[in-house]
Structure 1
Amino acid sequence: MFEIYDVAIIPLILAMVELVKIVGLPVKYSPFVAVVLGLAFGIFYLDASLKQNIIVGLMYGLSATGLYSGTKNMTQTKEEEH
């Protein structure tokens, strides 16, 4: 179901969200786009039952959202310290 190399999808989702933001999507919709892209990857890329694909797709999208917000919070905290 879930292979270790599938984790590479998370940075790919992040990159796609960044592209959508460059095109003009407001930043506040980024988490929603990440979850939708994660679901799309889960449903169309993985080879398992639909229920498993949806769950793994949600994990991808939510992981990408958490990675983005965690990195953003870390950089903001470091900027505030200086």
Structure 2
Amino acid sequence: MPVSDADFREYADLMATDFERCFSALTRHFKCLEAVWQDGIDRGRQVAAEREVFVIRAEALGSDDKVGIDLQIPREQLKRRFKAFR
């Protein structure tokens, strides 16, 4: 720890600069994580929508038991959603 007031002021300035640099880098990192998280959510929604279309088509063709589809969403709800994709 600096002893003189002049050295202490210089030390405090260095600490403030280091803190600002660290905080700025951390902020950029969190923004990056948030963007990647949002991309993952968007991709998950896209895959879920594509799966719904697949399930409905497989069921309509009578192939749902052949492709191992375990309907987790009620059929009527899937059919309503499928109409939105046509």
Higher Rg: 2
Q: TM-score range by the shorter chain?
A: 0.3 to 0.5
Which has the larger helix fraction? 1
**TM-score, normalised relative to structure 1:** 0.41
Q: TM-score scaled to structure 2, two decimals?
A: 0.39
